């Protein structure tokens, strides 16, 4: 316990100095330097899920809610151009959700592209509110709609969105079984969960059904599951060690850090340096943000290898 407390004080002190990313020699935080290339679009494996995609992925849920988001609200031609620019720069993972209302935009942006080279993911909203209609049909009905909206025969990854309860694997069992059946038929390639509490994350760790998890992670504990990043990092390490794919989200603290250049760089280095986050999803509003992110991640990787 004394070592834990000492490491925690050291870590929190480093946060105040903006140097938390330098603590990776501590095995509590760093599993290993898994990157041998400075390419932000190097191919990674999402745990044992069978999915392989780019280290960087496009998030489409900036200011998302009620089947809307920044990309869904602005002129569609601008959003499609932004998504196509991401593809042209090297992104091959596009992350959607029913909550964001971006399926149609992604389908339009990716027209004519080689579907086999893309990784498309989406998330099912099961909670009250969040989307316009009150009904919550079974997962097979929802995923069939997703496929039509995305204009694809299959979806690479489908997750339950925003699970926060410690017993979510109990009350979602019927839907989990349905998704297992869809996976066996090739309608989806992998399934999992997007997490919004540490208790829900621990439940995901304990359940072999979870192939891939979205986890909120940054060194400043902004929009995260605990005010102490150390607690979250420990569970993320365990998720990775168990063979589950780990997607890091909220690197910029739900946008709170987007105008703080040094903290953006610290957060990127921190997440890359953990060694247990397979890939990072970042939400973009325009092409300039995409280019800036690519440069920052590439620079961070060069420092690491």
pLDDT at 170 over 50: yes
pLDDT tens by residue, 30-73:
545 678 899 999 999 999 999 999 999 999 999 999 999 999 99
> 175 falls in which pLDDT band (50, 70, 90)?
very high
pLDDT digits (tens, 9 = 90+) for 103-112: 999 999 999 9
pLDDT at 199 over 50: yes
Q: Provide mean pLDDT across the span 167-182.
A: 98
Q: What are the structure tokens assigned to 297, written together?
A: 């991640």
Q: How many CB atoms lie within 10 A of CB 32?
A: 10
CB-based contact 259:34 (threshold 8 Å): no
Residue ranges of the domains in the chain? 2-304
Q: What percent of the chain has pLDDT over 70?
A: 89
Distance CA 298, CA 60 (A): 21
The per-residue pLDDT for 4 is 38
Of 285, 286, 245, 282, which is closest to residue 267 (Cα–Cα)? 282
Distance (Å) of CA 68 to CA 100, 104, 135, 285: 5, 12, 18, 13
Mean model confidence pLDDT for the chain: 90
Give 164's Cβ-side CA count (13 Å radius). 9
Q: What is the mean pLDDT of residues 6-29?
A: 47
CATH 3.20.20.100 fits 2-304, yes or no: yes
3-state SS class at 190: strand
Three-point CA angle 194, 195, 199, nearest 5°: 150
Chain-centre distance for alpha carbon 117: 19
Q: What is the pTM of this model?
A: 0.91
pLDDT band at residue 14 under the 50/70/90 scheme: low
């Amino acid at each position: 316990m004394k070592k834990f407390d000492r490491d925690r004080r050291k870590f929190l002190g480093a946060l105040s100095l903006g140097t938390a990313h330098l603590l990776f020699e501590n095995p509590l935080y760093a599993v290993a330097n898994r990157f041998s290339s400075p390419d932000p679009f190097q191919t990674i494996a999402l745990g044992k899920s069978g999915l392989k995609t780019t280290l960087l992925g496009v998030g489409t849920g900036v200011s998302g809610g009620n089947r809307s988001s920044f990309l869904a609200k602005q002129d569609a031609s601008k959003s499609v151009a932004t998504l196509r620019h991401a593809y042209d720069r090297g992104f091959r993972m596009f992350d959607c959700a029913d909550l964001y209302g971006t399926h149609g935009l992604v389908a339009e942006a990716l027209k004519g592209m080689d579907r086999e080279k893309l990784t498309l993911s989406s998330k099912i909203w099961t909670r009250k509110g969040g989307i316009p209609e009150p009904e919550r049909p079974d997962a097979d009905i929802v995923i069939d709609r997703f496929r039509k909206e995305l204009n694809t025969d299959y979806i690479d990854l489908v997750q339950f969105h925003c699970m926060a309860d410690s017993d979510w694997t109990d009350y979602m069992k019927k839907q989990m079984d349905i998704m297992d059946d869809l996976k066996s038929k090739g309608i989806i390639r992998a399934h999992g969960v997007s997490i919004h509490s540490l208790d829900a994350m621990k439940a995901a760790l304990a359940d072999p059904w979870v192939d891939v998890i979205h986890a909120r992670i940054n060194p400043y504990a902004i929009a995260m599951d605990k005010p102490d990043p150390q607690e979250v990092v420990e569970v993320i390490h365990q998720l990775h060690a168990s063979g589950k794919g780990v997607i890091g989200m909220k690197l910029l603290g739900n946008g709170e850090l987007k105008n703080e250049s040094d903290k953006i760089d610290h957060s990127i280095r921190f997440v890359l340096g953990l060694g247990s986050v397979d890939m990072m999803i970042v939400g973009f509003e325009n092409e300039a943000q995409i280019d800036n992110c690519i440069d920052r991640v590439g620079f961070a990787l060069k420092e690491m290898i």
